[in-house]
Amino acid sequence: MVPVLNHCEACGKGEPDHLKADHPYKRDNRIPEWHGWHAARRGLGSSLYRLGIPDMVIQRILRHANVSTTATYYIKTAAGDVRDAMEKLENQIARSEQVQSDTNRTLASNSPVDSSTVQ
């Protein structure tokens, strides 16, 4: 783990400096755990993707030779992303249905009825 991320919850001292403390060392869980450079790069790729940055731009930022590497290994979708996407789709469908309904009502109310053709 990166030492700067490893501090005691009670006193804030790093683990090596904590040896002389009068309480047991307990890592501060408010600070995220370090999972390595690959995880950091994957987090960057996923965050950029959530911001709407195109895959090809993310590929260049991460300096991958192939965009499929970026898309396959470095862009991860979270459950919230899926929910948000489905909500957007539902809203779009609802708006589309509303427009369709409004159009049908407008056409029906604007069409003249010729009483001579009604039987």
pLDDT at 108 over 70: no
pTM of the model: 0.53
Residue 103 — very low, low, confident or very high, per pLDDT cuts 50/70/90?
confident
Could you report the per-residue pLDDT of 12-45, keeping only the tens digit for each? 888 888 888 889 988 888 888 878 899 999 999 9
Which two tokens mark 112?
């003249």
Could you report the per-residue pLDDT of 40-64, keeping only the tens digit for each? 999 999 999 999 999 999 999 999 9
Rounded to an integer, what distance in angstroms lies between the CA atom of residue 86 and that of residue 29?
Answer: 33
Could you report the per-residue pLDDT of 62-90, keeping only the tens digit for each? 999 999 999 999 998 888 888 888 999 99
The CA-atom distances, in angstroms, between 16 and each of 30, 37, 86, 93 are 19, 23, 48, 58
